[in-house]
Amino acid sequence: MALTVVGSIAFDSVRTPFGARDRMLGGSAVHFALAASFFTDVRVVGPVGDDFGAEQLEVLEARGVATDDIEHVPGGETFFWRGHYDHDMNVAHTDDTQLNVFADFAPKLSPASREAQMLFLGNIQPDLQRDVRRQSSAAYAALDSMNLWIETTRDALVAAIAEIDCLLLNDAELRMLTGEPNLVVAARAAMQLGPRAVVAKRGEYGAALFTPEGSFAIPGLPLEEVRDPTGAGDSFAGGFLGSLNDARAGGDHDEAALRRAMAFGSAMASFNVEDFGTERVRNLTESEIGERLAEFKRLTHFDAARVPA
């Protein structure tokens, strides 16, 4: 089974209270693909410039990610983001954004990418998301977005949401989209737009899943080492959707599979924040993922107790 991701491929320069990196590999499609690659075959679609070369491709290809749909724009420069975090690592401060080749990105899926069983529409302009959805024959599609598109192209975003199966937003974006201050009410309102599943990403506080069958929440794992949260949400999405598309698990999308996927997504996000950029996730092992899942299970388990009379 295969999963196609369409989104940004970038160079990021990041400063946190725990260090800094200059022009490290990043972008939503990259973080997503690396996390998902532990569970399923992944194909990446996105644009890069002349400054993107074999060293960057090797990071993806070493994890088995198919890169033949990465579009090289001759004479162009790759998307660039510079930002910093203060001690509240939930808040990213943008210092510079250079869209470069991403500004004119018009995704074109190859036959192999069109035929993938699952599609993830990363945070790109909603009309582009709709165009990609029309190109794809995926049986299951998911979408991410951001406050910019909610504020400036809401109608197009709502139309894109109507065409997908699973919506992933952070809790503030979900409230902004629906105008509902209560997260549960906001998620139910978002489901009325079309998707059968809504995932609210809540940063260090975990994530919540909402479906017609009910709701489920998983906490963030308490970590001693949090160095860079950039890409954590995309890593969550990669683990979540990658595990849903895992042929070993039957590729199920039922309630039980969605709840398990929440744990896989949370595990991958927890690894992402332990180092800068892709440095932690690209070097992960399956045994480490298994150990991290066991930590989540211990964290959320308790024995049934009788209420005192």
User: Can you list the pairs that 210-214 forms with residues at least 24 positions away whose Cβ atoms lie under 8 Å?
Assistant: 210/184, 211/255, 211/258, 213/255, 214/255
Task: Give the number of C-alpha atoms closer than 13 A to the C-alpha of residue 251, restricted to the C-beta side.
Answer: 13
- Does 3 score more than 70 pLDDT? yes
127-147, pLDDT tens digit by residue? Answer: 999 999 999 999 999 999 999
CB burial readout 2-41, b (16+ within 10 A) else e: bbbbbbbbbbbbbbbeeeebeebbbbbbbbbbbbbbbbbb
- Its pTM stands at 0.95
Q: Which domains does the chain have, with CATH numbers?
A: 2-300 (3.40.1190.20)
Tell me the one-letter amino acid at 254: D
- Does 245 score more than 90 pLDDT? no
| CA angle, 228 then 232 then 236, to 5° | 155
Average pLDDT, the chain: 94
167-226, pLDDT tens digit by residue? Answer: 999 999 999 999 999 999 999 999 999 999 999 999 889 999 999 999 999 999 999 889
63-86, pLDDT tens digit by residue? Answer: 999 999 999 999 999 999 999 999
- Does 116 score more than 70 pLDDT? yes
**Interstrand relation of 197-201 and 166-170 (parallel, antiparallel or unpaired):** parallel
What was the pLDDT predicted at 247? 60
